[in-house]
């Protein structure tokens, strides 16, 4: 019987790359996105045809508790959960509104709580499961003008470690991948000069590719069960 992976924020970038990697390995997919449902459904059709897997798509705000509950009411559960949905806010903290702060926290951190709470029900019944949270190196050290984003990802990192301890006796592994600078739309606000300056700070001399994050996510999802509670940093040697 094939296994099912849920990937949030799967319409582009890292989420899309992860969906492609798991579909190629024969996993059935449950994909979510907030805005680009047409694009995600195109990806779903392609992956279903090419890899003969089941792909279900849901347009939902993963930072909304009721929306997440509705998705889990409509599926049988998941064997692997990958929390990738995320947004950023770039700007000075004093210029950030309470609503903007709440939106970052809801999308990046609350969503992880909601999905994990539902996903672990089946995992506990099966006495196995994998949870992978896509985080950021800024959750480890913080980034100027990205205070809310850094705080939310720092929360994801400690959430990961704590939940891993809670679920380890039930053979459920929880890990996070703290990404460095990955070449996605999240960095589209940078101009050419800013991109070049940032590249110079990366020992690897380049941005990471979403497919590299996807490959690591697959390795963690299918690797030794003794690997749990880890925040694995993938940043090209930057930090």
Q: Read off the pLDDT of residues 74-99 as tens digits, 9 standing for 90 and up.
A: 999 999 999 999 999 999 999 999 99
- DSSP codes of every residue in 22-62: HHHTT-EEEEEESS-HHHHHHHHHHHHHHH---EEEEE--T
How far, in Å, CA of 164 to CA of 173, rounded?
6
* Domains of the chain and CATH, by start: 4-234 (3.40.50.720)
Active-site position among 89, 114, 125, 149:
149
Cα three-residue angle 213-70-152, rounded to 5 degrees = 45
Pairing of strands 129-136, 28-33: unpaired
pLDDT in tens, 43-63: 999 999 999 999 999 999 999
pLDDT in tens, 20-39: 999 999 999 999 999 999 99
- Chain centroid offset of residue 50 CA: 24
Active site residue 149: yes
pLDDT in tens, the chain (239 residues): 789 999 999 999 999 999 999 999 999 999 999 999 999 999 999 999 999 999 999 999 999 999 999 999 999 999 999 999 999 999 999 999 999 999 999 999 999 999 999 999 999 999 999 999 999 999 999 999 999 999 999 999 999 999 999 999 999 999 999 999 999 877 777 788 888 999 999 999 999 999 999 999 999 999 999 999 999 999 999 98
Which H or E run includes 71? helix 65-73
């Amino acid at each position: 019987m094939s296994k099912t992976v849920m990937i949030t924020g799967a319409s582009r970038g890292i989420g899309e790359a992860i969906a492609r990697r798991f579909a190629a390995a024969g996993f059935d997919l449950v994909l979510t996105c907030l805005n680009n449902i047409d694009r995600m459904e195109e990806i779903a059709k392609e992956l279903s045809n090419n890899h003969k897997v089941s792909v279900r798509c849901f347009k939902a705000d993963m930072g909304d508790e009721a929306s997440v509950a509705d998705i889990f009411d409509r599926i049988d559960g998941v064997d692997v959960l990958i929390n990738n949905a995320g947004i950023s806010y770039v700007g000075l903290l004093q210029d950030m509104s309470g609503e903007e702060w709440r939106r970052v926290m809801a999308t990046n951190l609350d969503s992880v709580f909601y999905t994990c709470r539902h996903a672990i029900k089946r995992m506990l019944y099966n006495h196995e499961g994998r949870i992978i949270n896509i985080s950021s190196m800024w959750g480890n050290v913080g980034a100027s003008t990205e205070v809310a984003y850094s705080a939310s990802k720092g929360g994801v990192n400690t959430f990961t470690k704590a939940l891993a301890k809670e679920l380890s006796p039930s053979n459920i592994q929880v890990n996070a991948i703290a990404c460095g600078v990955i070449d996605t739309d999240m960095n589209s606000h940078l101009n050419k000069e800013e991109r070049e300056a940032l590249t110079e700070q990366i020992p690897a001399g380049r941005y990471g590719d979403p497919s590299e994050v996807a490959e690591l996510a697959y390795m963690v999802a299918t690797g030794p069960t003794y690997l749990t509670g880890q925040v694995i940093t993938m940043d090209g040697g930057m930090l």
